[in-house]
């Protein structure tokens, strides 16, 4: 198993925690070397910025006492949206590894390429599709259950 797979499995555990509490199952963690510095999963809060990546970045910066996350890798089960990709660039995250592609708002190369846009002040190395099937499966299961639940409420 590669290191990327190892850490993506940990991000999937975060996604599973979100799934079990009824939130969108996206998990993220930040790693430097072999040390996990922080983790996060999507939250259904009144705050639209409560994405797994933002939670992990905020936690890591708070714990380290510094906003600059150079040398860190962000592992996330779903390709970052433009907001999260912008946060990665602004935090100087060195590398972003994601599982499932995000065809609706992916900003890591699928729809936009914010993470690797050389016009910005920082460029993140990107690796896409790590454990993509597993990352996609948990998302599909979550939305399938939500659709079934909303249909049963209408019956």
Q: Which residues are catalytic?
A: 53
Tokens coding 143: 């939305």
Q: What is the 3-state secondary structure (H, E, C) of the chain?
A: CCHHHHHHHHHHHHHHHHHHCCCCCCEEEEEECCEEEEEEECCCCCCCCCCHHHHHHHHHHHHHCCCCCCCEEEEEEECCCHHHHHHHHHCCCCEEEEEECCCCCCCECCCCEHHHCCCCCCCCEEECCCCHHHHHHHHHHHHHHHHHHHHHHHC
């Amino acid at each position: 198993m590669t290191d990327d797979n190892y850490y993506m499995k940990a991000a999937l555990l975060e996604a599973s925690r979100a799934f079990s509490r009824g939130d969108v199952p996206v998990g993220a963690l930040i790693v430097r070397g072999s040390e996990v510095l922080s983790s996060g999963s999507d939250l259904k809060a009144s705050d639209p910025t409560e994405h797994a990546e933002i939670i992990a970045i905020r936690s890591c910066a708070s714990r380290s006492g510094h906003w600059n996350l150079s040398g860190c890798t962000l592992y996330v089960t779903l390709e970052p949206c433009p907001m999260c990709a912008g946060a990665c660039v602004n935090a100087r995250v060195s590398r972003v590894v994601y599982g499932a592609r995000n065809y609706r708002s992916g900003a890591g190369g699928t729809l936009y390429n914010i993470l690797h846009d050389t016009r910005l002040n920082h460029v993140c190395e990107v690796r896409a599709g790590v454990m993509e099937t597993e990352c996609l499966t948990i998302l599909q299961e979550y939305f399938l259950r939500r659709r079934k639940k909303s249909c049963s409420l209408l019956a």
